[in-house]
Amino acid sequence: MGFIAALSRAKSAVKSHAMLRRMSNIPESTVYGGPKPQTPNQRVTLTNLKQKHRKGEPITVVTAYDYPSAVHLDSAGIDVCLVGDSASMVVHGHDTTLPISLDEMIVHCRAVARGATRPLLIGDLPFGTYESSTSQAVDTAVRVLKEGGMDAIKLEGGSPSRITAARAIVEAGIAVMGHVGLTPQAISALGGFRPQGKNLASALKVVETALALQEVGCFSVVLECVPPPVAAAATSALRIPTIGIGAGPFCSGQVLVYHDLLGMLQHPHHAKVTPKFCKKYAHVGDVINKALLEYKEEVTNGSFPGPAHSPYKISASDVDSFSNELQKLGLDKAASAAAEAAEKIGTA
């Protein structure tokens, strides 16, 4: 009995462990073992990113917002999946990133966490959830990890309050990615989606802000919409990886939005704001539109669904019995409809 009980407890422990998502911020080394070699099927960790950076290997990042896109990123072996507050625009149809709430962001984070088992997962802190105080910032970051299933958070900007927030979150034991250059949450102050670093003062501010974020413990910094020489200077000055988006080829890695790089969005609003720096690696939106038009046409002309897509059968004898019972109920039209459908579509 003792052996059976022990075996049962062991099975229960294994099952419980399997249910836990393998978050990449769990230390690789243990008291009993030590670091294990990373394989392509294991989760990407901050340690892996540091190793790639040290070796000069480019880091691949894609912004995604849901389970299907996360599965695609996983299959492609992308290093990092960023769940961006740009979901406000790409998914929810707003003109800016400002309206999205923390609760909405957490829903997106959860969906991505279910689909991506390999990439490092980073969740954006939405506007208004970390600026008021360090305690607010830490509480928000904790929710993104505990409820959203993320490994790290990203926050925008380099104002003193945001740098203080970054420091507090790092000191709370949470990995932080910074973001400088064009910071969409600051469009009110920037006067719109405007590139940064295009003059001396602005270029110096980009580098100085990136250094300040490094100083408070950020593990990486996104450089958005800055001239390549400015990005090159920041990358050279920092000891941590830079991730470029519209910042040229001299960063430690690159990030693009899933929908943008696939050429998925076609409606006028997103056509208007699709960034100049984004290369379309496919034209999925055209394929989607074509498929929807074909579907509409086939439903309209009655060719879908035909026999091939009507798989559930009833025997001829049961159809006769069914029709007879319908007639007894006074449902003559229904009986005739059943008989005609069986004749057209076939029976088992």
* 224 catalytic residue (yes or no): yes
Compute CA distances 148 → 13, 125, 156, 237, whole Å.
24, 11, 19, 33
* Closest to 218 in 3D by CA, of 169, 288, 285, 151: 169
* Choice among 28, 131, 147, 224 that is catalytic: 224
Q: What are phi and psi of 226, to 5 degrees?
A: -130, 155
- For the chain, how many helices (H) and strands (E)? 15, 8
**Number of Cβ atoms within 10 Å of the Cβ of 271:** 10
Q: Kindly state the tokens that stand for 45.
A: 């960790």
For 240: left if phi > 0, alpha if psi spans -120 to 50, otherwise beta; the answer is beta
Those residues whose C-beta lies under 8 Å from the C-beta of residue 234, and which sit 6 or more positions away, are: 180, 206, 207, 210, 221, 223, 226, 242
237 within 8 A of 226, measured Cβ to Cβ: no
- Compute the distance between CA of residue 143 and CA of residue 145 in angstroms, rounded to an integer: 5
For 128: left if phi > 0, alpha if psi spans -120 to 50, otherwise beta; the answer is left
Single-letter code of the amino acid located at 293: L
Residues marked active site are found at: 224
